[in-house]
Amino acid sequence: MAELALAATLVEKLRHKRAKIGVIGCGYVGLPLAREFCHSGFQVIGFDTDSAKVTLLNSGESYIRAVPTIELKDYLSRDLFEATADFDRLAELDAMLICVPTPLNQHREPDMSYIASTAHSIAKRLKQGQLVVLESTTYPGTTDEFLRAILESESQLKVGQDCFLAYSPERENPGDKNWRTRDIPKVVGADDDASRATVKALYENVVTQVVPVSSSRAAEASKLLENIYRCVNIALVNELKVLFERMNIDIFEVIGASKTKPFGFKAFYPGPGMGGHCIPVDPFYLSWKAREYETPTRFIELAGEVNTEMPQYVVERCILALNEDKKSVNGSKILILGVAYKENVDDVRESPALTLMKELRKLGAELSYHDSFIPQMKASRIVDLSDYSSVELSNEFVADQDLVLIVTAHSDVDYQQLGQNAKLIVDTRNAMGDFHEDAAARIVRA
């Protein structure tokens, strides 16, 4: 069949690394992925609508910690990588990987605008024999229904015959140095034999293990299951944290004891709320799609409610902690320690710190923050904090604060010293756990 011959030609180019790869969206997913293709010897073009990012990348400057600048400069010098905002160059590619954001809109429904815009850009230039792979997290059916419809209607090419389409979910874990992209098994799914063959050949060159599934929908669902699993379990321990605090039981001590069981238990930890580009967002893609099938997703909705309420719980703990010192939030100096959504990353997307700062500022607190990973805040969909920049964490500054609120426990902070200089610490991450008894500060868990 003609389509299999066309696929065989692309598979051959991929196996001999003669194919040119395009990565659309040079962010926390796209740039590490581009790195692995360059590392394997492929020529890669990174596409981004942000001209500032394009300029930085072409000058050899990486803005993502997972991609060392020294490596980027090497790939540029060997003509393995370049960045561009010129989407006409999509026509040069053999395979293009879509790594664009999939946020929620103000009604907590999927915002498909980035995927749609990218699909239209591709469709205008799509040519015979090209492979398109969606990596952005989304609801089951996006690839085969939404993306395919745009590509076929605007290009007049038939997926599976003239061109190829697949889904392979990203599995990045920013800040985790134990795993880089090539070491993480790659799930791939497509809806025709030719697309399955080409997407499998694509990733076999750059990752240690490719995990094929029967369809793009199965691959899309696998990504959602991974994140819903985490969301539900974190909601469970968040709910137990509130209960155990009222029972005067240390949730972290309980988790530490429970995880000694060698089977049937995996430790999840509570926090001040959910953050990042996955867990606060992805579960709602499935719950939204489930409405089409008139099937309630009660676990997902309940977990979302519990996790969404955690910042308010933390605010209440701050109010009560200050009240014990005969102070109100209004006029109190509060230092937010860590604003990134997780430890040791430079990503503030959906961070609970944004909601906490918004609410505490509303109550009249004099806010400041320290985070060496986030030197300057920006406007976000939650709140505009662009007038805040990270302060130096000096002993004198800490001592002058009425309350230090630990939101993100970066490893570059001396928590023992913090405990000696602060008056009052509200700890949402158990960062002070090892220093609790020796601290001069009063420490409140939240």
DSSP SS3 for 386: coil
Calculate helix-pair angle for 193-204, 2-15, nearest 10 degrees. Answer: 0
The question of whether 278 is a catalytic residue gets the answer: yes
DSSP SS3 for 352: helix
Q: What is the DSSP string of 52-115?
A: HHHHHHHTT---STTS-HHHHHHHHHTTSEEEES-GGGGGG-SEEEE-----B-TTS-B--HHH
Query: For residues 136 and 110, is the Cβ–Cβ distance under 8 A?
Result: no
Do strands 186-190 and 164-167 pair parallel, antiparallel, or not at all (unpaired)? Answer: antiparallel
H, E, C per residue of 3-67: HHHHHHHHHHHHHCCCCEEEEECCCCCHHHHHHHHHHCCCEEEEECCCHHHHHHHHCCCCCCCCC
DSSP SS3 for 429: coil
Query: For residues 297 and 287, is the Cβ–Cβ distance under 8 A?
Result: yes
Furthest CA-CA distance within the chain: 80
Listed in order, strand segments (DSSP E) in 379-435 are 403-406, 424-427
CA–CA separation, 370 and 417 (whole Å): 15
CA–CA separation, 215 and 202 (whole Å): 17
CA–CA separation, 83 and 30 (whole Å): 12
Gyration radius from the chain CA atoms: 24
Identity (one letter) of the amino acid at 307?
A: N
CA–CA separation, 421 and 401 (whole Å): 10
Give the DSSP H or E segment for 287: helix 282-290
DSSP-derived letter for residue 291 is G
Which residues are bridge partners to 406 per DSSP? 337, 427
Closest alpha carbon to 10 in 269, 271, 200:
200
CA–CA separation, 31 and 408 (whole Å): 25
| Residue in 38, 163, 278, 318 annotated catalytic | 278
Q: Which residues are catalytic?
A: 278
